[in-house]
Structure 1
Amino acid sequence: MTDPLSASQGIIPLPLRSGTAWINALADSPALRRAAQNPETLLNQVQLIKDSRSTRAGIGTLESGIRVFIKRHNNKGLRYTLRYLFREARPLKAFRAALALRECGVKIPMPMAAIVFRKARILGLSYQISEALEGGIPAEELRSRLANEPGAAEAFATEMSLLLAHIHAKGIAHGDFKFSNICSIKEGDKISYGLWDFDAATLHKGPLPLRLRRNDLARLCSSYVELGIRLGLPPENESAALELFLAPYERAANMRFPRDSMLAIMRHHLQRKRKCLPK
């Protein structure tokens, strides 16, 4: 398999025993290289955030003292093995998407390394390492702001819609643009927003087609409605919530979306979460 990333992109391929690590030159250090050579050592020392059949992830510290996020993708069996015989491993795909998003000026944790172990093309464990986000606002504080501060929900929806329109124009689909994948950062008295979790992101040549734009938008709106059901966020129904995000997106992208089809996709996402829609 050929290297999908090169030194011309500021990426340093690091050969490993039965694998390869791709190091972001902006984050390169002896400590990061040692972690890339034996990522399990770092992972065993982290404060766990997630531990499931698919992934294991947490926040840890490199030998240099830099705080990082590390995520391992597990090989889940025969179907997984066959699927990734010739496909790019998820951490590498996410790494590529993160680099593209940073190039577009989107605020995201710096991607530091992608590590993939293969033997005779068979994908084993694979990892991604990025900087640990500092200055983030706890999710509950953000939700409280959206629910209680006048105009906060509208300002949030506008900023997220404009961000989404921007990355779509650059040919990037996030793939899972939901509330929990939006990071909020305090900068003085202001709050700015960025993104994380790019496992489902895809890169395309030229602006995204309507179908991919619609999917990201509907996922964002359904996630907001799901949160609103529990917290009483404005507005009070899914049609109004859709308009909250869709109107600024349409102005920025200079295109129109059929409301009926957008609502249908939103309901599909909500039903998958087994949430009751507001009437």
Structure 2
Amino acid sequence: MRIYIVEDDISVISILEDIVESNDLGTVCGDSGSGLDLDKILALAPDLVLVDLLMPGKDGIQVVRELKERGCPAKFIMISQVSSKEMVAKAYLAGVDFFISKPINLIEVRQVIRNIRQQMENERDLHTIQSVFTLKQAPAVERQSRSDVQRKRIQYALSQLGMAGEKGAKDIMDMCMYLLDRHQQVCQVGVGALCAKLSDSPKSMEQRARRAVERGLNHLASLGLDDYGNEVFTQYASRLFPFQEVRAEMAFIQGKGSKGKANLKCFLDGMLVLAEED
């Protein structure tokens, strides 16, 4: 994985380069230590861009937005000391995938980059499946088991919702595949009992899954605030969450009212429907 670092502090650039190289996370293909050059970034075609939020001249959100507008397909990790909900929402709307907080923490950087790498691998797998369908290569589709197709659909939905890098994403996948394999609904088993069947620490599993769903709700609400007609928003908002909770989360991001409540059971029911659609 090719990584570009947009940061005005040379010492931070050195720390990030050392973390990337010593942990085999990828290759640093360039940095903005000698000055920000968007053309250079586009020419180097990185897979991932680490970008500082607060920089002289253009801030990180402007950099991400302009690169996205110019067709840069890279993933973006924002490095920030700022924890303002409004600023975080703006960053996600601009196209940021994850946040890393300052001061730089080795474990956090390593985990977030690994999450991004896994998300990219999931998206590549899904693209392969989509290409097969697009080209109508029926024999190739038939060779794939039904469960493989269902798994890819769930992976794609989790990626679209900004959840693929969350620890609870695997737990959600395991729950969905268990139910799909047995042709069961959540109401037939119950979330607590389902986690008990799949994990030696069912409460921890359920908590991870709930946190991941909360992340998905926040991401979806942010998309809706930016563009109510956003394709991801319209596809998932009413199918995976009670829509009144999506509206509540949107209001919360704007500083009005309480957070929306992420309903894990409702989310799992919706994912099962999505996985089985023809």
Give the TM-score normalised by structure 2: 0.32
Give the TM-score normalised by structure 1: 0.32
More strand by share: 1
